[in-house]
Amino acid sequence: MAASREVSLSSLYAELSRFGQKEEYERALKTANKILQQKNDEQKAFHCKIICLIQLSKFQDALKACAKEPKLSASLIFEKAYCQYRLNLPQEALKTVDSDPEPSLKLKELRAQILYRLERFQECFDVYRDVIKNSSDENENERETNLFAVVANLCAENPSYEAPQLREDTYELSYNAVCQLIGRGLYQEAEKKLKTTEKLCRETFEEDDADADVEEELSIIRVQLAYCMQMQGREKEAQAIYSSVLKHKHDDVGLVAIASNNLVAINRDQNVFDSKKRMRSATLDTLEHKLNSRQRRDIALNQCLLALYTNQGEQCQQLCARLVSSYPDMQMEATLIQAVQLSREGKTREAVALLTGQSGRDPELNLAMKLAAVQLLLAEGERKESCRILESLGEATFKPGIISALVTLYLADKNRDGASKVLKDAVDWYRKNKVSAGDLSAMWRQAADFHLRGGEPAVAAQSLEELLRINPGDRKTLAQLVIAYAKFDPAKAQSLSKQLPPLSLPQNADIDALETSNWVMRSKVAKKTAAKVEQSPSSKPGTPGNELIQKKTKRKKKGKLPKNYNPSVTPDPERWLPRHERTGYRKKKDRRNKDKDILKGTQGAATGASDMYDITKMQSQQKPSPNPSSPAPETSGPRQQLRKAQMKKKKKGGKW
């Protein structure tokens, strides 16, 4: 009986081996179960059963089988961890892998994949580097490709990350090198390298004669190329590439989601119906494990913005709340979107309350929220409330930009005292805390000018002292400081004036003339002063400076003579008369009026009677009046009267 059982097990194992070599995993699974029915402690048969379930993608059944037989599955750490990884349980898979004190090479590689899924890229990089150093087989290219993918993600998280130099002789390695450049923001270099990557991809698939797969791989490269163009501002070119990729209807849902999301970002508040359709493709439930957290976060943010653009207020608020719950680091963006939505609905007060209610959080976030609230209030003309919020920012109130905004708002409300107080507080705060906030020269100078014009030389002197401390050799600042001290502390002004360079004037300098010149007074004042001195009866020709005040006389220019001028010949006395008034002028004959007597006059009039209506003859027959001052008699024939009547009609009705 035992011998027959041994024969039966050996035949079943032979059958199991044959099915495994032929990759007939369904039949192999049945055979493994037969072996386990005959002998339930067969370790090899149980191992083969788990392998068959994995090959058939029945990962849940494999885990259940391992749970039922803890003794037989104790050594199957890799298989259990792989099933958990494929079931998107990376945390449990990592615990299973770490339970092995001496992990094998394949277990280390699986651990690296799990760490990549968990986005713990630095640990993943260390594991891959150790695996590549201690292995040499046909999978070397795949390991280096995965390592370069990890480096690309590290560069995206930290652009200053020092990445190792790896080879780029395959299109996968070249593509990951492009992703590294994109993570650093070098889009032009990435665009050039993508063309090389596309060429390598075509050459690789031409050797394998795989036309169906090459289009899928090229689409990934093209989408990355379109992203580089989009980030450089060439949105129309990028939009054309995204649209052409989406027309092919690829099976890769991750690729479709990324292209659709980027199209939504290009559309912004235009073409919202197309954006809605694209957003549905970018927010499928199956994408949870196809995209990393950064990509899913950006898609969720764009979904909130799309709801804002389409004026879906309630949905926008819900999406923003979901965004914050899933990604707490997006608190600022979500709150800003919610505030803008409330403002669009006319609920400005609620929007301001939402933005200013972020106290107790990150200081930078608090500052951004309150500045956004100020912007909404200023859009409604609420200057006083805006000033109140800006003054409640704590130490951030003394930033140069905030001070400038406060002074501008107070002056717009004609509240000079409020603006002066803001500048005084800023001067005192910086003098007390000695905080270095970059170049504050412009702020100190503006504060000094403001207080000097406002009659507060003591406060202006403090600003000028700070400005002089920044630029010790500035003579202009020193001179202004002397002027400020001269108004309330002459002794201090006297001591400071000794630091000014000595005044060097020429010996023959005229002080009165210098005082009346334009560099001391405005040009209009100087002209008026000069006119007064000139009109003064006490001024004499011999007084100093009188030659500067005397009115300048116009010097006559020497006339030009013609080229053929002869001084011995008397010039023609009629040279300035018009040509037709000179004595030698003869009028040209008008040959067109040769037969002027024919058909002259009104209809029915005789030829002789027409002479009395001919204006040319009337002028020739009229004698000159002995009295040139008397007006000439007005003569008008019937033609002239008719013409005047026609002109009156034209003026009344038609265009003239």
- For the record, the structure tokens of 369 come out as 């929220």
Q: What is the pLDDT of residue 134?
A: 86
In whole numbers, what is the pLDDT of the chain averaged over residues? 80
Model confidence at 541: pLDDT above 60:
no
Instruction: Give Cα separations from 92 to 55, 98, 115 (angstroms).
Output: 21, 10, 12
Q: Rounded mean pLDDT of 512-523?
A: 58
- Confidence tier at 620 by pLDDT (50, 70, 90): very low
Distance between CA atoms of residues 532 and 453, nearest Å: 30
Comparison of pLDDT for 324 and 646, the residue scoring more: 324
% residues pLDDT > 70 (the chain): 77
Predicted local confidence at residue 631, as pLDDT: 46
pLDDT at 113: 94
pLDDT of residue 623: 47
Give residue-wise pLDDT tens across range 30-46: 999 999 998 888 899 99
Q: Which of 199-208, 241-250, 278-287, 639-648 has the lowest mean pLDDT?
A: 639-648
Over range 542-556, report the average pLDDT: 53
The pTM assigned to this predicted structure is 0.65
Residue 62: what pLDDT? 94
Highest mean pLDDT: which of 260-264, 396-400, 542-546, 636-640?
260-264
CA distances from 620 to 134, 147, 598, 601, 633 (A): 129, 115, 19, 17, 14
Q: pLDDT grade, residue 230 (50/70/90)?
A: very high
**Position 318, amino acid:** Q
Check whether 306 has a pLDDT greater than 90: yes
What distance in Å separates the CA atoms of residue 592 and residue 418, rounded to the nearest whole number? 90
For residue 558, CA distances in Å to 554, 555, 563, 566 come to 13, 9, 15, 18
pLDDT bin (cut points 50, 70, 90) of residue 420 is confident
Per the model's pLDDT, the better-predicted residue between 644 and 318 turns out to be: 318
pLDDT value at 242 more than 60: yes
- And the tokens for 476? 């202009």
Structure tokens given for 304 = 């909130």
Q: Higher model confidence: residue 637 or residue 511?
A: 511
* DSSP letter assigned to residue 365: H
Q: What are the tens digits of pLDDT across the range 52-109?
A: 999 999 999 999 999 999 888 899 999 999 999 999 999 999 999 999 888 899 999 9
pLDDT tens-digit map of 248-292: 888 889 999 999 999 999 998 888 899 999 999 999 888 888 898
Q: What is the pLDDT of residue 57?
A: 92
**pLDDT cut 90: percent of the chain above it:** 30
Q: What is the pLDDT at residue 655?
A: 45
- DSSP run (H or E) holding 335: helix 331-344
Highest mean pLDDT, choosing among 180-194, 495-509, 639-653: 180-194
**pLDDT score of 396:** 83
Above 80 in pLDDT, residue 654? no
Select the highest-mean-pLDDT range: 110-124, 193-207, 451-465.
110-124
The pair of structure tokens assigned to 455 is: 């009659």
Q: Is pLDDT at 638 greater than 60 in this prediction? A: no
Q: What is the DSSP letter of 158?
A: -
What does the pLDDT read at residue 528? 55
The answer, yes or no, to whether residue 605 has pLDDT greater than 70, is no
Residue 8's alpha-carbon distances to 35, 479, 588, 592, in angstroms, are 9, 112, 143, 140
Among candidate residues 218, 271, 208, the one with its CA nearest the CA of residue 248: 218
pLDDT mean over 506-530:
60
Q: Residue 614's pLDDT band (boundaries 50, 70, 90)?
A: low
Strands (E), 439-500: none
Residue 609, classed as helix, strand or coil, is helix
Q: Burial of 177 by CB count in 10 Å (0-12 exposed, 13-18 middle, 19+ buried)?
A: buried
Q: How confident is the model at residue 622 (pLDDT cuts 50, 70, 90)?
A: very low
Predicted pLDDT at 234: 93
User: Band of the pLDDT at 547, cuts 50, 70, 90?
Assistant: very low
Question: How much of the chain is in helix, strand and coil states, percent to nearest 5?
Answer: 65, 0, 35
Rg (CA), the chain: 49
